Structure 1
Amino acid sequence: MKQNVADYSFEYKKRKQKVLQHAMILVITVFLCLTLFLNFVLFAVYTNSSSMETDLSKDGVSLVCPFLRNPSRGQVVYISPMDEEKLPFYKSAVNLVINFFALQKYKPFGSSTRMTGKHSIRRVVALPGDSYYMKDYVLYVKPAGQNFYLTEFELASKPYNIRIYSVPVEWDGMGCAGSLPETTLGSNEYFVLADNRIEGIDSRVYGGIKSDRIKGRIIWQIFPFNKMKLF
């Protein structure tokens, strides 16, 4: 029995339509899974400054775990911009996916060239309710409910290094202040510092940060390979 040309054309169109539907479902599923993964499991970030040297290399790549958002003293976190633009869900999702492949170097929506409009990596040195002061670029912290000040290094969960070098006297107070008066953090504030205390912009400039600005904790520097390190 001969097959009618019209029947063949109809069957071909049906099969083609079904393939396209399956492809669309696959793309949407992969997109949703990737978005969930980037929101709750792991994503990579690129370090484009020397503000966290020596622990985090300039031009290095590190992994951030976004569900670790309650850091201890001394841990390194990924922080959202101070003036971050609130975006619709679909734009945020597209940013997440593109950021994943671009190692957080590019996002199509809500990007900014201002220093305060960029994500940053900083070390948490004081927790909500702590009191602190700074002397010679070292932070002294009195944990909430305690009576004595200790250095940031004595309270840190893991040892770390900071970078300090001589600068002209007139530089002090211009984003690299080496001294701060005694202050107490609010119930939802964290004090963060750059390890490079001369070049980094941090809580010495913009004060304590709210917990919702902490987008995850750095857990592993994966590049350069000769400086791979767990945090």
Structure 2
Amino acid sequence: MNNQLAKEIKEYAISIIAALFIALLFHNYVFARATVEGPSMQPTLHNKDILFLEKISTETSNVKRGQIVVFDSKNENGDYYIKRVIGVAGDIVEIKNGHVYLNGNMLNENYLSANNITEPLSTQSRYTVPSGYVFVLGDNRTNSIDSRILGPINLKDLKGHAVIRVFPFDSIEMF
């Protein structure tokens, strides 16, 4: 009987360790949870919204314009920022007359609030996105630390892109 009990304990232990290992791999390379902090993505996202991020596309550098991404800000506090990808490698992003132009064409940014104006936050108003980088902006352009200040964001610093908002429950949305 003791051998049978030891065998069952060993089988349970192996199953638990395997499950933990799979969960860890899943969390590190497939999906992660993120909580929005601050108003920089309003009206799309609000403070305390809870999102799930897909990580495979950012791990493989398959990032597309319009995706909402989370990245390491590299600041002294170790903050992670959430912003929208405006330009990818080779794109020319220009900010003029309160609007964003991508490769010479004014972007139709229907996700912005009606009174939102985009201004350059430095002397630079035209950016060419280098290979291996993306250009990101917050949807609340008057209250966002984004590529206008930080410059292009290295693809290696991306932690995932938002696929669904799960909280608040009355605002569940796929992205």
Q: Give me the TM-score of the superposition, normalised by structure 1.
A: 0.64
Describe the SS at the equivalent of 2:86: strand
Determine the structure 2 residue equivalent to 1:218.
162
More strand by share: 2
Describe the SS at the equivalent of 2:170: helix
The separation in 2 between residues aligned to 1:162 and 1:41, in whole angstroms, is: 32
Q: Give me the TM-score of the superposition, normalised by structure 2.
A: 0.83
The separation in 2 between residues aligned to 1:58 and 1:200, in whole angstroms, is: 13
Aligned residue-pair number: 171
More helix by share: 1
The separation in 2 between residues aligned to 1:162 and 1:193, in whole angstroms, is: 14
Query: Is the Cα contact below 8 Å between 1:135 and 1:180 reproduced in 2?
Result: no
Does residue 112 of structure 2 align to residue 161 of structure 1?
yes
The separation in 1 between residues aligned to 2:114 and 2:7, in whole angstroms, is: 60
Query: Is the Cα contact below 8 Å between 2:86 and 2:136 reproduced in 1?
Result: yes
Alignment of 1:5-154 (within 5 A): 12=2, 14-69=3-58, 70-82=62-74, 114=77, 117-135=78-96, 137-142=98-103, 149-153=104-108
Describe the SS at the equivalent of 1:35: helix
Name structure 1 gaps, 5 residues minimum: 1-10, 84-111, 143-148, 167-171
Describe the SS at the equivalent of 1:22: helix
AA paired with 2:112?
N
Per-residue CA deviation, residues 106-142 of structure 1 (Å, 9 max, x unaligned), is xxxxxx7x1xx12221100011111122135532221
Larger Rg: 1
